[in-house]
């Protein structure tokens, strides 16, 4: 197990985090149900611009209704099972953020939709005008990343930068 | 979009659900934090025996402490991004279940640990005796599966069988 202050281990973990973020296409969303008694979960393709994550999601999903109401939410990203070096230690991160709904039709809405089309293909042009869908901007605030056995770090700020090392896999 | 009562569409969805369950190696865990104010999330390799899911997880994870305390929990399984036919419609399921802690050292504990070693490799022999780890049995009760655009179904019982078709992607 690398030492807590091992610079190489920190750089390696930071690189793995950047690689995960660069390769991932979808964000998972965990939140509480509308009445707060149960847990909800969903997944959505995302684009990332200047550190901000954007998802375009339908309020037909209970998890979407919950986050639009301001319920606590935790986002997570995980490498595919098929690329995990060890299934017990899939590289993954989770974070909390500030959510803002981008109003349909304004300049930013149009720009981000265009970006979605470029990154995630023609579906966006089909669903762009569906009024049950909402464009949500997520500014990352804090989180944690696990890059292997005994390698977990806190993350901070819009760029999800590694701060302190954790003694457990968060 | 297939008709609500299209038998072929139901069989296709059921087969996709079975395939997802047969191929997946890990279960994702969404729950609330210990004080109930935040959301927690984690992932764990699972084995499945007679319909029951088993996970072997460390209480160093906040999500594990929460589920050991009996907080609401939602489990989810999702196909890898790399095999998704369309990134907007990854095949996925989520379910609630009844949780039982299997006591260390009894016959079932030994049997399931052996099964973990067979399915998920040599890590289990390293962590089997770690006292912060707990073996948890999950009996599926109800859930939902999404197998494509406009194809979402409720699931019921230990075998997570398709029941009614949903009008939205839950």
Please say whether the beta carbons of B59 and B104 come within 8 A. no
Which of B27, B36, B41 should one mutate to test binding to chain A, selecting the residue with the greatest count of A CBs within 10 A?
A: B41
pLDDT at site B115: 97
- DSSP 3-state of A67: helix
Specify the pTM: 0.95
- Token pair belonging to B24: 């997946």
Buried-exposed string A134-147: b where 16+ CB fall within 10 A, e elsewhere: bbbbbebeebbbbb
Reported as a single tens digit per residue, the pLDDT across A58-81 is: 999 999 999 999 999 999 999 999
How far is the C-alpha of B92 from the C-alpha of B146, rounded, in Å? 5
- Token pair belonging to A64: 């979407």
Choosing among 1.10.10.10, 3.40.50.300, 2.30.110.10, 3.40.190.10, the CATH entry for A7-166 is: 2.30.110.10
Say yes or no for a CB contact (<8 Å) between A38 and B74.
yes
Mean pLDDT of chain A: 94
The domain segmentation of chain A, as residue ranges, is 7-166
Give me the interface pTM, i.e. the ipTM.
0.94
Does residue B170 register a pLDDT over 80? no
- List the one residue out of B69, B77, B71 whose CA is nearest residue B31: B71
Say yes or no for a CB contact (<8 Å) between B94 and A61.
no
Reported as a single tens digit per residue, the pLDDT across B60-101 is: 999 999 999 999 999 999 999 999 999 999 999 999 999 999
Residue found under tokens 């260390």: B104
Reported as a single tens digit per residue, the pLDDT across B127-152 is: 999 999 999 999 999 999 999 988 99
- Asked if B96 is an interface residue toward chain A (Cβ–Cβ < 8 A), one would say yes
What count of other Cβ atoms lies within 10 Å of the Cβ of residue A7? 9
């Amino acid at each position: 197990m690398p030492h807590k202050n091992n610079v190489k281990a920190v750089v390696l973990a930071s690189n793995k985090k950047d690689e995960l973020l660069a390769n991932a296409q979808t964000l998972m969303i965990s939140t509480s149900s509308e009445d707060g008694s149960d847990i909800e979960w969903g997944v959505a393709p995302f684009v990332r611009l200047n550190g901000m994550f954007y998802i375009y999601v339908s309020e037909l999903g209970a998890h979407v209704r919950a986050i639009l109401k301001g319920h606590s939410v935790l986002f997570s990203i995980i490498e595919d099972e098929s690329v995990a070096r060890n299934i017990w230690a899939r590289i993954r991160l989770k974070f909390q953020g500030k959510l803002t709904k981008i109003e349909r039709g304004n300049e930013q809405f149009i720009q981000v939709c265009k970006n979605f089309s470029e990154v995630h293909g023609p579906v966006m042009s089909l669903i762009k005008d569906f009024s049950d869908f909402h464009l949500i901007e997520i500014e990352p605030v804090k989180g944690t990343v696990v890059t292997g056995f005994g390698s977990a770090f806190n993350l901070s700020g819009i760029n999800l930068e590694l701060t302190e090392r954790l003694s457990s896999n968060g």
